[in-house]
Structure 1
Amino acid sequence: MKIVVVGAGGVGGYFGARLAEAGHNVTFVVREPHFSIILQDGLKIIHSEGEFTVHPKVVKDFKEIPDMDLIILAIKSWQLQTVAEQFKPYLQKHTLVLPLQNGVGSVDKLSEVIPAKNILAGFCKIVSKVESPGIIRHLNFKPEIVFGEIDNSQTNRILKLQQRLSKANFVATVPKDIHLEIWKKFLFIATVSGLGGLTRMTMGVLRSESYTRQLLEESSKEIIALAQAKGIGLSEEHFLMVMGVIDNLEPDTTASVQRDIMAGKPSELEDFNGYIMKEGRKLGVDTPTHAFTYYCLLPMEKKARNLL
């Protein structure tokens, strides 16, 4: 299978390397310094049982790729449409596009640029990081890609893709309701990310201080109310689930969006707190916690994007 992975960070680097290890024809579209290092030394994955190195093809431009069966988008939410414009001229009828972002708006963003028939809905579960360009360290539990057709139909192409991805050393899951699964992950990551960035505190502090814990709970409930208004089946059960996850995380845990904010980098603020606030306004759902978090972080986001 001819697979293109856009991005060689903790997500793209890991899953792309595992797919190459399993024998798939994998090409990475990356920038410097990843390009030169992977071209020269390969892509190394360090994990709990050891390490391995693969030597995939690396390019800087989609025009260098003659055929694409699957494009895995392992980039930030705010980069989706720009990258989709880049590969749009080379997209073929059979090419599947699989976004792995944390937000819930990836399919809508891509649909504004490329045909919906090419797009799958998806996300991933992984704890990994870039040790240095070309070296990815996997930190916790067996990684998983969760994906499906936008309408949840069990098509031949989706089942065939699951079969092919399952040959790699990670879990490939096609759930009954991909959108519910995407929102379940979003419920966790959007509950903690903005508040973590605003307070600059670890999960252990956020969950143990009475006021910040109350904010976490209110943040989660606002997301559930918005999901329900959009016809997504989140419920009290999922609120209890996400708070349980928060309580069981290592005390020094931080979210990736939080780390971007704290490092002064462009973040997915608009796709998290901003999305919740703006969609809430459209649908008449009050989201005061997310609005407060969004507007407090917005000046930092503008500075990171050189807009101040």
Structure 2
Amino acid sequence: MKFLVVGAGALGGYFGGRLLAAGQDVTFLVRARRAAQLNERGLRISSPKGDLVLPAPPHLLSEQIAQHYDVIIVGCKAYDLDATMASFAAAVGPDTAILPVLNGMGHLERLAARFGQQRVLGGLCLISATLDEQGDVQHLNDAHALVFGELDAATSPRAAAIAEAMAGANFDARLSAGIRQEMWEKWIFITSLAGATCLLRGSVGDIVAAGQARVPLALLDECGAIAASHGFPPRQPATERAHTMLTAAGSPITASMLKDLQRGSAIEADHIVGDMLARARQLAAPTLQLAYAHLKTYEAQRARQAALNAG
């Protein structure tokens, strides 16, 4: 089975590197700068689950794609999805399965519109990882799960084959018979975490210490109601787990969106918070509306500053 991993960043580098180390046929699709790093240092992973050094990981640039792949793993930011789809389009064949691990649900529709519904799997990952200044992958916690499955079926021969290929890799690969449900539950949590930590500019522990745990819990309730209106009410274990994580005293957890915001970087405001709000239909979601307004104001300020700098 031939895997094309789009990008060799924190997510692609970690899961693709683990697959490659397990003997799978893996190629990384990268940009020129990342290709130079891989040529110089190889792919290096520092992890509580075991460090890994791959001196010469197979990689190529978009214009060098010369064959179709069985599985394409996509883990870009949602605002980069159009450019990313264009970059790997030549690798998509009649039987290619595309496995995205983006947050939210809107990317599924965009991938299906470009490549056909039958090629798109559902997927999510549970990991905290980043690239350091040298381009090495730093895995920051014990979680390293990749969950995937057919969007409209419990299973399939291709999904089973992917699960078998991933079984020997040093991460938790799981084939889900209800991937849409699991994706909604993660989206609910991510939106609640991002909305609260960005709106209040602090970690979960800071928010709790300020006596404002009602904010992430209000977001949790509003997002849960939206999911339920689309036929995916969050299950009790997922709700309890999210409630615990969003109210944990002293917790240093923040959303990656807050880190992007603090750096002055682009954020996935429309793709995570905005898309959830757009699916509210007639449901009241005042806290979600406020969180989205805050993020859009940041984006307006960022655009204004960019215009001033360009002038």
Query: TM range, normalised to the smaller chain?
Result: over 0.9
- Where does structure 2 lack aligned partners over 5 or more consecutive residues? none
SS at match of 2:299: helix
Q: TM-score, normalised by structure 2?
A: 0.91
Match of 1:20 in 2: 20
* Counterpart Cα distance in 2 of 1:182 and 1:29: 25
Match of 2:197 in 1: 196
Q: How does 1:27-46 map to 2 (within 5 A)?
A: 27-46=27-46
Q: How does 1:112-127 map to 2 (within 5 A)?
A: 112-127=113-128
Q: Mark the CA change 1:130 to 1:249 in structure 2 (over 3 Å): closer, same or farther.
A: farther
Coordinate RMSD, CA, aligned: 2.0
Residue 286 (structure 1) aligned to one of 274, 284, 299: 284
Deviation at 1:279, TM superposition (A): 1.4
Match of 2:219 in 1: 219
Identity score, percent: 28
Contact 2:217–2:246, Cα closer than 8 Å, also in 1: no
Match of 1:153 in 2: 154
Q: Mark the CA change 1:261 to 1:151 in structure 2 (over 3 Å): closer, same or farther.
A: same
**Structure 1 counterpart of 2:14, one-letter code:** Y
Q: Mark the CA change 1:295 to 1:128 in structure 2 (over 3 Å): closer, same or farther.
A: same
* Counterpart Cα distance in 1 of 2:223 and 2:53: 40
* Counterpart Cα distance in 2 of 1:38 and 1:63: 16
SS at match of 2:129: strand
Contact 2:261–2:267, Cα closer than 8 Å, also in 1: yes
Match of 1:262 in 2: 262
Match of 2:75 in 1: 74
Match of 2:293 in 1: 295
Deviation at 1:96, TM superposition (A): 0.8
Q: TM-score, normalised by structure 1?
A: 0.92
SS at match of 1:53: strand
Q: How does 1:1-150 map to 2 (within 5 A)?
A: 1-48=1-48, 50-54=50-54, 55-61=56-62, 63-150=64-151
Instruction: Establish whether residue 207 from structure 1 lines up as the match of residue 205 from structure 2.
Output: no
Contact 1:162–1:174, Cα closer than 8 Å, also in 2: yes
Indicate the larger mover: 147-156 or 247-256.
247-256
Q: How does 1:180-195 map to 2 (within 5 A)?
A: 180-195=181-196
Contact 2:197–2:255, Cα closer than 8 Å, also in 1: yes
SS at match of 1:78: helix
Deviations 1:117-145 (A, max 9, x none): 11100010111111234300111114111
Q: Mark the CA change 1:140 to 1:63 in structure 2 (over 3 Å): closer, same or farther.
A: same
Deviations 1:183-209 (A, max 9, x none): 111121110112212222112112332
Contact 1:74–1:100, Cα closer than 8 Å, also in 2: yes
Q: Mark the CA change 1:16 to 1:307 in structure 2 (over 3 Å): closer, same or farther.
A: farther
Contact 2:4–2:27, Cα closer than 8 Å, also in 1: yes
Q: Mark the CA change 1:138 to 1:65 in structure 2 (over 3 Å): closer, same or farther.
A: farther
Match of 2:244 in 1: 244
* Counterpart Cα distance in 2 of 1:152 and 1:218: 33
Deviations 1:10-51 (A, max 9, x none): 211100110111112221122243220112221100112552
Contact 1:121–1:178, Cα closer than 8 Å, also in 2: yes
SS at match of 1:11: helix
Contact 1:45–1:136, Cα closer than 8 Å, also in 2: yes
**Structure 1 counterpart of 2:83, one-letter code:** T
SS at match of 2:288: helix
SS at match of 1:169: coil
SS at match of 1:146: strand
* Counterpart Cα distance in 2 of 1:24 and 1:188: 33
* Counterpart Cα distance in 1 of 2:174 and 2:137: 23
Contact 1:261–1:301, Cα closer than 8 Å, also in 2: no
- Where does structure 1 lack aligned partners over 5 or more consecutive residues? none
Deviation at 1:303, TM superposition (A): 4.4
Contact 1:29–1:62, Cα closer than 8 Å, also in 2: no
